[in-house]
Amino acid sequence: MSKRSSDRRARRAGLTSFRSYLVSTVDASARQARGPTHARQVKLRIVPDRLVVSEVFDSVQGEGPSTGVPSTFLRLGLCNLACVWCDTAYTWDARRFDLQDELRSRSLEEVAEDLAQRALKNLVLTGGEPLLQADALDALVPTLTQRIEVETAGTLAPSPTLLAHVAQWNVSPKLASSGNAVSKRRRDDVLSTFASIDHAYFKLVIADDTDLEEARELLDVHGVPRERTWLMPEGTTPERIAERGRWLADVCTREGFRLGTRLHVVLWGDRRGV
């Protein structure tokens, strides 16, 4: 990918450029000065033949229409949003985490080999925002044998290659409670593309009535059928998920949405790698 095309993609993602994004993500760890800043930047660079990876693990899908399906998770680093309740901030938040320790740049061959050794037939590409690394995913995904799900916040358009190979899109547009500016979190052109794909499911984290109102409006504008929409209670503890889940169960019963949960939080709390 040329610098010009990477900058174009960065602008679409709401970033000034990938270079400035790298500088901002390494800033906190660079201040701790445990190595040359340049080395840190090189390791986090988004390039078409490597992936910035947070973790790879096997578990059960905890959210959305395939909740409970045994799956391998490839969690990629970096995100173009900054949700206040994000439970994977270790993939992007350089103010709270040392991304140099949290993330690794891995070759596509290395990632493919790791995935090929795993027995589970369902693969979830998640993040962070995995579509920030679409060029590398374009090269990797056609070589994989698993059924592929992608989790995205719906701010970046899917590439033709990914559209051809991904069996299920879990699209999670961020609402007011996420704390992101509307101009960053809502891309109607992208949402309209996903709305037109019948294997794209919308999964909305709902914290309160304001989120619920915004979710209804967004789904109606894009004509997303309610049977393709999962409402999910915001929460990082089982108690909070149950409390908000009971409120959302009433909403779903009345309005025809599907009720989602966060199974991994219910089972394990706010833990990584599950």
List of residues contacting ligand SF4 (CB under 6 A): 79, 81-83, 86, 88, 127-129, 153, 174
How, if at all, do strands 200-206 and 104-107 pair? unpaired
**Kind and range of the H or E element at 179?**
none
How many whole angstroms separate alpha carbon 199 and alpha carbon 192?
A: 14
Within 13 Å and on the Cβ side, how many CA atoms surround 216? 9
Q: State in angstroms the smallest separation of the CB of 254 from ligand SF4.
A: 27
How many whole angstroms separate alpha carbon 60 and alpha carbon 108?
A: 24
Q: Helix 3-12 vs helix 18-31: angle between axes, to the nearest 10 degrees?
A: 80
Q: Which is nearer to ligand SF4, 49 or 52 (CB)?
A: 52
Q: State in angstroms the smallest separation of the CB of 93 from ligand SF4.
A: 8
Q: Which is nearer to ligand SF4, 10 or 86 (CB)?
A: 86
Q: State in angstroms the smallest separation of the CB of 170 from ligand SF4.
A: 11
Q: State in angstroms the smallest separation of the CB of 33 from ligand SF4.
A: 27
Which are the contacts of 141, defined by CB distance < 8 A and separation ≥ 6?
A: 125, 148, 161, 162, 165, 166
Q: Which is nearer to ligand SF4, 96 or 121 (CB)?
A: 96
Q: State in angstroms the smallest separation of the CB of 77 from ligand SF4.
A: 10
How many whole angstroms separate alpha carbon 181 and alpha carbon 175?
A: 9
Q: Which is nearer to ligand SF4, 115 or 204 (CB)?
A: 204
Q: Which is nearer to ligand SF4, 97 or 110 (CB)?
A: 97
